[in-house]
Structure 1
Amino acid sequence: MLAVRPPAVAGMFYPAEPGELSHEILEFLTEAQPRTLIPKALIVPHAGYVYSGAIAASAYATLKSISARIRRVVLLGPTHRVAVRGLALPDVEAFDTPLGRVMLDTELMRIISSLPQVTVSAAAHAQEHSLEVQLPFLQSVLNDFTLLPLAVGMATAEEVAEVLELAWGGEETLIVISSDLSHYLPYAAAQSVDGRTIRNILELKQPIAHEEACGGTPISGLIIVARKHQLKPHLLDLRNSGDTAGSKNNVVGYTSIAFSAGE
Structure 2
Amino acid sequence: MKYTKTREPIVEGLFYPENSSDLKNKIDELLKKNSQETLDSNCIVVPHGGYDYSGDYIATGFNSLKKKEYSRVIIISNVHREFSNSITIPEAEYFKIGSNSIKVDLDAIKIIQRVGKKIVKSNTPHMEEHGIEVVLPFINHLYPKAKIVPILLGKTVVSLVRNLANIIKEIEDENTLIIISSNFSDFENEKESLKYGELALSLIQDGKMGDLVELTRTNKLKTCGSGAIASLILNGNYNKIRILKEGLTPKTPLSGDKATFYATLSFSMS
TM > 0.5 between the two?
yes
Deviations 1:119-141 (A, max 9, x none): 11211111210000110011122
Counterpart of 1:136? Answer: 137
Counterpart of 1:73? Answer: 73
The answer to whether the Cα contact below 8 Å between 2:38 and 2:63 also exists between their aligned partners in 1 is no
Counterpart of 1:181? Answer: 184
C-alpha separation between the residues in 2 aligned to 1:145 and 1:240?
A: 32
Q: In the alignment, is residue 194 of structure 1 matched against residue 190 of structure 2?
A: no
Counterpart of 1:255? Answer: 263
Counterpart of 1:216? Answer: 226
The answer to whether the Cα contact below 8 Å between 2:83 and 2:154 also exists between their aligned partners in 1 is yes
Counterpart of 2:44? Answer: 42
Shift of 1:189: 3.2
C-alpha separation between the residues in 2 aligned to 1:171 and 1:252?
A: 34
The answer to whether the Cα contact below 8 Å between 2:187 and 2:258 also exists between their aligned partners in 1 is yes
Shift of 1:58: 0.6
Indicate the percent of aligned positions where both proteins have the same amino acid: 26
Flag structure 1 segments of 5+ consecutive residues without an equivalent: none
CA distance 1:21–1:111, change in 2 (3 Å): same
The answer to whether the Cα contact below 8 Å between 1:40 and 1:261 also exists between their aligned partners in 2 is no
Counterpart of 1:20? Answer: 22
C-alpha separation between the residues in 2 aligned to 1:102 and 1:6?
A: 11
Shift of 1:243: 6.2
Q: In the alignment, is residue 5 of structure 1 matched against residue 13 of structure 2?
A: no
Shift of 1:190: 2.2
C-alpha separation between the residues in 2 aligned to 1:259 and 1:142?
A: 20
Deviations 1:156-205 (A, max 9, x none): 3212212212222x210111111001113322332232112112112222
C-alpha separation between the residues in 2 aligned to 1:37 and 1:136?
A: 22
SS in 1 for 2:204: helix
Flag structure 2 segments of 5+ consecutive residues without an equivalent: none
Which letter maps to 1:136?
A: P
Q: In the alignment, is residue 233 of structure 1 matched against residue 244 of structure 2?
A: no
Shift of 1:259: 0.9
CA distance 1:80–1:193, change in 2 (3 Å): closer
Q: In the alignment, is residue 103 of structure 1 matched against residue 103 of structure 2?
A: yes
TM-score, with structure 1 as normaliser: 0.90
Root-mean-square deviation (CA, aligned residues, Å) is: 2.1
Shift of 1:244: 8.4
C-alpha separation between the residues in 1 aligned to 2:112 and 2:265?
A: 26
Counterpart of 1:52? Answer: 54
Counterpart of 1:152? Answer: 153
SS in 2 for 1:74: strand
Output aligned runs, 1:119-134, within 5 Å. 119-134=120-135
CA distance 1:217–1:244, change in 2 (3 Å): farther
Size of the alignment, in residue pairs?
Answer: 257
SS in 1 for 2:145: coil
Shift of 1:41: 1.1
SS in 1 for 2:222: coil
Shift of 1:212: 2.9
C-alpha separation between the residues in 1 aligned to 2:127 and 2:57?
A: 25
CA distance 1:91–1:38, change in 2 (3 Å): same
